[in-house]
Amino acid sequence: MEELLVRSADRGAVRTLTLNRPKALNSFTGAMHGELMAALEAAACDARVRCVVLTGSGRGFCAGQDLADPSVAPQGDSRDEPPDVGNAIERYYRPLALRLRSMPVPVVAAVNGVAAGAGANAALCCDIVVAARSASFIQAFSKIGLVPDCGGTWLLPRLVGRGHAIALAMLGEKLSGEDAAASGLIWKCIDDAAFPAEVDALADRLASLPTKALAATRAAIDAAISLSFAESLGNEADVQRTLGRANDFAEGVAAFMAKRAPSFSDR
């Protein structure tokens, strides 16, 4: 039987999607993009799923575009004409970045090894990024004459500031998991031995929180980036109006008053 390029496994309300081309450091082919988008769609539509974890098999997380894949890489175009790399971005990376940023549940990137190019930026599209101490992040684009894609030009300056963003993108240096956490690029760096258990604990914790409010939190923070302060206050009022009518708000307050743990169910 043919091996899946994206493996999916459930543990309670947590769905783990594992990029599965370890020999090529889980770099993206057209086929892997197809499986990943289908898996994300399935997770988004499955009411049992309250947190998604994205990780890689073997020693890498994802080395970005598979530079040998004829369906996406320059060699796939006619040899007489220059490649239209924009097509691959429109067809694969833009939908992937938008899908990750609009999931109805929190998404954790569990960066188990090297994350390069669009692999690094796909991780940064996720809500919470944790990395094993041995993992690394590389904006590999300048080495092959491209700019950061899969949301990189938008995400990097917002995560680490313009100066660090430009240096990371221009120099394409390898950033260790520890330095990525220290610079604010990611949430946390975790010792390799503790990584699987800590990822599970983080995902379980997210799955137990009010899913609908978490998705609304991401959307409100993203919206605020392009709003004035006064506009963002208005947006907060609108979002709270909606959430205030949802079951989870009533449950959260009731649980607090009764001094018991809440059991959230909205999605």
Site string for ligand T3D, 148-187 (x = CB under 6 A): -x--------------------------------------
Residue 27 in the binding site for ligand T3D (CB under 6 A): yes
Binding piece for ligand T3D, criterion CB under 6 A, among 6-14, 67-75, 184-192, 233-241: 67-75
How many of the chain's residues bind ligand T3D (CB under 6 A)? Answer: 23
What ranges in the chain are assigned the alpha helix state H? 30-45, 85-88, 94-101, 118-125, 152-160, 162-171, 177-182, 195-208, 211-225, 229-244, 247-257
What ranges in 161-228 are assigned the alpha helix state H? 162-171, 177-182, 195-208, 211-225
Residue 248 in the binding site for ligand T3D (CB under 6 A): no
Binding piece for ligand T3D, criterion CB under 6 A, among 40-48, 113-121, 183-191, 194-202: 113-121
Q: Which residues pair with 107 in a beta bridge?
A: 52
- Cite the beta strand spans of 39-106 per DSSP E: 51-56, 60-62
Which residues lie below 8 Å from residue 243, measured CB to CB, with a gap of 6+? 212, 213, 216, 249
Binding piece for ligand T3D, criterion CB under 6 A, among 66-74, 97-105, 160-168, 220-228: 66-74
| Minimum gap (Å) between residue 59 Cβ and ligand T3D | 7
Exactly one of 85, 128, 246, 255 binds ligand T3D (CB under 6 A); that residue is 85
Report the sign of the C-alpha dihedral through residues 134, 17, 122, 48, in that order.
Answer: negative
Provide the 8-state DSSP code for 91: I
| Minimum gap (Å) between residue 73 Cβ and ligand T3D | 5
Binding piece for ligand T3D, criterion CB under 6 A, among 34-42, 64-72, 184-192, 238-246: 64-72
Beta carbons of 41 and 34 less than 8 angstroms apart? no
| Minimum gap (Å) between residue 122 Cβ and ligand T3D | 9
Which parts of this chain interact with ligand T3D (CB under 6 A)? 24-25, 27, 63-68, 72-73, 85, 88, 114, 116-118, 138, 140-141, 144, 146, 149
